[in-house]
Amino acid sequence: MKIKNTKGNILTENIIFIILNLVFITILILFIFSRISGASLLEEKYSKQISLMVDASEPGMTIYLNMEDALKTAKKNNVPVEGIVKIKGNLVTVDLRGKGGYSYSFFNGVKATANFDTEKKDAYFFFIR
Amino acid sequence: MRKKGAEKILAVYWFAILLIVAGAIAYMVSSFYGNPYDIRDIEAGILTDKIASCVGDGGYLREDFFTPDFNENFLEKCGLTLQTEDTYGWKNNQYYLKLSVRNFNSFDDPFLEISEGTSSLGDFCGLEGATNPYCLKRSFYVIDKQQNQYQIDTLVIVRKTEKNVQ
């Protein structure tokens, strides 16, 4: 009887140990993914990327930018995807959380407008005039 | 009994190691992704390219380059604006650009200088540290239609420290 109990204890301990390890690793991975794909990080990334695009552009250009991950995040946060990128004067604002977003300015004197791609629904295109 | 006690101690060590590893990973990820993207070097590079494109016209120095109108309205003529967002107490003082024009075949001082923006940013050039404004110096050779040769040195400085460095 004693031998049987011991074997049972070892198995239970091992299972608990493995479960705890799995929980631990899961929490770690979730933490890393939350950091990497956070809405605030995407707002900063896209506002800076769009500003640089506009800086390097010339009048007459149309630029397409795939923003699939940002659009997914905006949908998750119940923010209308048609209005997540705004360009006012020389200031680009990307808002994926409905909290004002992140803004970055560009120095190119062109007039830029941001439009949601209503056909593919995964991109924005920018008219440079 | 001894064996079981040793296993328990080992398990504690195992979790301690896991905690240390997890803490290190969390710290590294936080410090890497917690810092803003620093794009000032790209901005300065694009601004330098824009200046060079503006000054040149079909492979030659643009004809109105030496006119007072061009020098006084340099930003407007080149389609540039140095206005920035009004955050962190920025008051449109985040850029500085300077062009120095000299004869290519002589070592004389520049005979023409055009500058725009906040000149005091130039004091930080050459200093070490990411929190200083980013400075980019470039030179290019250009001729006018009378085949006169010039060297134009550009200095572009982008500050915007608060949004690019933590």
Bridge partner residues of A66 (DSSP): A123
Pick B94 or A9 by higher pLDDT: B94
Do B56 and B84 have their domain in common?
yes
pTM (2 decimals)?
0.83
Confidence of residue B92 (pLDDT cuts 50, 70, 90): confident
Same domain? For B54 and B18 the reply is no
d(C-alpha A66, C-alpha B67), whole Å: 44
Q: Looking at the predicted structure, is the pLDDT value of residue A8 above 80? A: no
B45/B24 same-domain check = no
Chain A: residue nearest B12 by CA? A17
| pLDDT for residue A96 | 96
Beta bridge partners of B29: none
Residue A129 sits at the chain B interface (C-beta within 8 Å): no
| B128, B145: one domain | yes
Distances, alpha carbon B30 to alpha carbons A27, A40, A46, A48, B33, in Å: 15, 13, 20, 20, 5
pLDDT in tens, B100-148: 999 998 878 899 999 999 999 999 999 988 899 999 999 999 999 999 9
DSSP, res B80: B
Cα–Cα nearest to A98, from A123, A127, A76, A115: A76
ipTM of the predicted assembly exceeds 0.90 = no
pLDDT score for A42 = 93
pLDDT, chain A, mean: 90
Q: Please tell me whether residues B102 and B73 are part of one structural domain.
A: yes
Region B33-61: mean pLDDT is: 93
Q: Do A52 and B42 touch (CB under 8 A)?
A: yes
Q: Chain A residues with CB inside 8 Å of B46's CB?
A: 52, 55-56
Q: In terms of C-beta density within 10 A (0-12 exposed, 13-18 middle, 19 or more buried), how is residue A68 classed?
A: exposed
The answer, yes or no, to whether residue A41 has pLDDT greater than 70, is yes
Same domain? For B129 and B147 the reply is yes
Helices (H) and strands (E) in chain B, counts: 5, 6
Number of H helices, E strands in chain A: 3, 6
Q: Kindly report, residue by residue over B7-43, the tens digit of the pLDDT.
A: 667 777 877 888 898 889 888 888 888 889 999 999 9
Quote the CA–CA distance of B38 and B17 in Å, as a whole number.
34
Q: Does A107 touch chain B (CB under 8 A)?
A: yes
Residue A4: pLDDT over 60: no
Task: Name the residue in chain B with its Cα closest to that of A55.
Answer: B46
% of chain A with per-residue pLDDT over 70: 92
Based on the structure, what is the number of domains in chain B? 2
Q: Does one domain contain both B92 and B54?
A: yes
B63 and B103 assigned to the same domain: yes
**Co-location of B54 and B133 in the same domain:** yes
The pLDDT of residue A119 is: 93
pLDDT of residue A1: 47
When pLDDT is averaged across residues A18-23 and rounded to a whole number, the result is 87
pLDDT at residue number B2: 57
Alpha-carbon span A89 to A86, nearest angstrom: 10
Q: By the CB < 8 Å criterion, does A6 face chain B? A: no
What residue numbers bound the domain in which B126 lies?
39-164
The residue behind tokens 């209503």 is A118
Residue A90 has pLDDT above 90, yes or no: yes
